[in-house]
Structure 1
Amino acid sequence: MADATDQAFYDRADAHIELSNEQLKTCENLGEVSASMMFGATRFNAWASARNFKSGAEMADAREAMLKYFCDQYRMMLEDNLDDHINNFSQYMLVKT
């Protein structure tokens, strides 16, 4: 994940989250908004990855390595964020104790 001093990384992530929060104003289904955000991330990552290759065949040869990389990164980031929400549940969810 990005170094904690890389504020631009977090600013870009926050911009995506803000867009999803805006979408929740017209689509009350949190799962649908979450799925759209995840689909957008995968589509962008596939496009960004394709830019590194000269052909579809070359990209196909690297497919498993790309899947491993993106799945490992997603899992690491999700674990970090799940732990953060577990440890700060009352603060993030505004639960009165």
Structure 2
Amino acid sequence: MSAEWHIVLVNLIILCLAYGLIYPRFAGNDMRKISYQDVLASVVSLTVIGSVYFGSDVTLSFFGLSLNWFWFTLLTYALIEIPCFLWYHRQYGVKFPKD
């Protein structure tokens, strides 16, 4: 398996755990809590991937672009998270803050 697929798989596992187990139990439909916990989840993803690729000169291919591990992880995390959040929003009726 290539490095790109390893990173995508790690991001997918983290987001499945976050949206499937953690957010429903600890955030519910509160957007602020979801946001705080999502920052933590993205830091976990960057930390796990960074522990493997930090300091290496590996370049990863993202739709024809050559990216380092940090940007590749961040972009794939965001692309996987969008449908997860849309599902979670419909499933749990997430309320956005008014202020």
TM-score for the superposition, normalised by structure 2: 0.48
Say which structure, 1 or 2, has more relative contact order (CA 8 Å, 6+ apart). 2
TM-score for the superposition, normalised by structure 1: 0.49
Flag the structure with larger Rg: 1
